Structure 1
Amino acid sequence: HPDLARPDALAPFFSTWRVGTPERQRQTVDAIARTWERRPWPAEDLRGYHVYTGHDGSTLLHHSQWASEQAYEAFVKTHRQERVDEIDTAVPGIERLGLGRYRRYRSTRPEGPAAAVVPGCIVIVEVEFEGSDPDRRRAWVDAVFEALQSEPNPRPGGLSAHFHLSTDGTRVLNYAEWESAQAHIDALAAPGDGVGSSTSQWERVQSWPGLKSSTVNRYDHVLGLVPR
């Protein structure tokens, strides 16, 4: 699993591929592993590359940690296409849904025994805002932290949350680690809207001016590639 808060990963990227079926998910992950492991690590400034299978049985999430956007652009010019071609040959018909460029803003980290728990499920929450307003997005994340800190009934099973701001100014992505998918399902089923109780702090978060939409998806971490 990646360390989302590592200080030398200043340019995290997230993208989604739609492959269609659980079988094609497995085939694509195998193709990615073969394609990458048979080649030298492509760039010193690539800290890690991670792949996740969506619980929808159709999608793959990709998360790469770069030292800078410039390092990623250099990779695109020299190494990316040969990898894409080999993967597409092994699994034709992959639909690439776009690349999101982010900067990590704030994180919660587990303490005590929870710090040693390996996440059993990754939950990605994507929130879109109207227009480009970085200050509004930071203020919204700060409000989420206030709601979390004042939560009267903390949901069991949540390990960490890492909030990222998109470089285009329109989105927030929360990479949340949970003990299990069932723990997250139970948290959503508890009283309240989402994983929070019906408090004024959470109501403020949910009715934030300019908040356009949000999506929640669960994933399993299935491939972690790091430099040797």
Structure 2
Amino acid sequence: MSERYPDITRDDAGVVLVNEWNVGTRDRQRAGADAVARLWRAEPLPEHALSLNLYVSDDGTSVLAYKQWTDLDAYREFARTARSAQAGEVAPGITRHEPTAYRLYRHGLGEQGAVPGSIVVVQFETRNETAARTLVDTLFDVYGDEEPGKGAIGSHFHIAVDGSRMLNYAEFVDAASHEALITTETSGSRRLTSVLAEVEGITPLGFRRYTLHTAVAR
């Protein structure tokens, strides 16, 4: 077991499964996260699972699971055989449901050697994989040469296997580093709205900031 933030770029992770539960209150968030953590720790990792990572949002409303597997077929076989035993509600607001499957597409790095203490998950709905790739590539074209904000460790852009979503898993030293970034207007932040308007077939879904609750890895 490990309580460290996962290595998002590990070479053996062929697919990432993401679940997000909106639980509404901090009490339900804590109860739900603790219940999921107990389930994960009760048994060994499935054969092709590499890491299971659970996060709680700083605003107290959400729980997020980020799971790295070797490949999608292995996960689907596990889900098929284990589904009956795993059905039902884990805790109020935490009901098992099919995760969104992603693959890491591109990533950019900031402070080398820094240890994550907070992550920000930014999501877009995308018309298809082409739109998702265009969005990520455009962001790199516009911002790739700029210095990352202080405390920014890495941005990891994932595209859903079915092309319906783009998810940026952004690592920061702490929540204050991200807060400073979004509250300080820069030339880059002023350009973002116009940059996004140029990409067809995308809908911004906003962001949410999380802290690691539980991590189990091999």
Deviation at 1:63, TM superposition (A): 0.6
Distance 1:51 1:83 in 2: 17
Distance 1:13 1:72 in 2: 9
Distance 2:23 2:87 in 1: 14
SS in 1 for 2:125: strand
Number of residues paired by the alignment? Answer: 214
Distance 2:148 2:44 in 1: 45
What value does the CA root-mean-square deviation take over the aligned residues? 2.3
Q: Residue 146 of structure 1 corresponds to which residue in structure 2?
A: 141
Q: Give yes or no for the alignment of 1:66 onto 2:88.
A: no
Q: Give yes or no for the alignment of 1:34 onto 2:34.
A: no
Flag structure 2 segments of 5+ consecutive residues without an equivalent: none
User: What are the residue-to-residue correspondences of 1:175-214 with 2, within 5 Å?
Assistant: 175-192=169-186, 196-199=188-191, 203-214=194-205
Question: Is the alpha carbon distance of 1:78 and 1:97 closer, same or farther for their aligned partners in structure 2, counting shifts above 3 Å?
Answer: closer
SS in 1 for 2:99: strand
Aligned partners of 2:131 and 2:202 also within 8 Å? no
SS in 2 for 1:169: coil
Question: Is the alpha carbon distance of 1:2 and 1:154 closer, same or farther for their aligned partners in structure 2, counting shifts above 3 Å?
Answer: closer
Deviation at 1:67, TM superposition (A): 1.0
TM-score (normalizing by structure 1): 0.83
Aligned partners of 1:36 and 1:83 also within 8 Å? no
**Aligned partner letter, 1:185:** E
Q: Give yes or no for the alignment of 1:125 onto 2:117.
A: no
Question: Is the alpha carbon distance of 1:213 and 1:202 closer, same or farther for their aligned partners in structure 2, counting shifts above 3 Å?
Answer: closer
Distance 1:78 1:97 in 2: 15
Distance 2:21 2:84 in 1: 16
Distance 2:42 2:160 in 1: 32
Q: Residue 4 of structure 1 corresponds to which residue in structure 2?
A: 8
Deviation at 1:56, TM superposition (A): 2.3
Deviation at 1:166, TM superposition (A): 0.9
Distance 2:200 2:22 in 1: 32
**Aligned partner letter, 2:210:** Y
Deviation at 1:206, TM superposition (A): 4.5
Deviation at 1:83, TM superposition (A): 4.4
Flag structure 1 segments of 5+ consecutive residues without an equivalent: none
Distance 1:76 1:25 in 2: 24
Question: Is the alpha carbon distance of 1:61 and 1:190 closer, same or farther for their aligned partners in structure 2, counting shifts above 3 Å?
Answer: same
Aligned partners of 2:54 and 2:213 also within 8 Å? yes
Distance 2:148 2:7 in 1: 24
TM-score (normalizing by structure 2): 0.87
SS in 2 for 1:115: coil
SS in 1 for 2:76: helix
**Aligned partner letter, 1:50:** N
Question: Is the alpha carbon distance of 1:74 and 1:189 closer, same or farther for their aligned partners in structure 2, counting shifts above 3 Å?
Answer: same
Distance 1:123 1:97 in 2: 23
Question: Is the alpha carbon distance of 1:59 and 1:71 closer, same or farther for their aligned partners in structure 2, counting shifts above 3 Å?
Answer: same
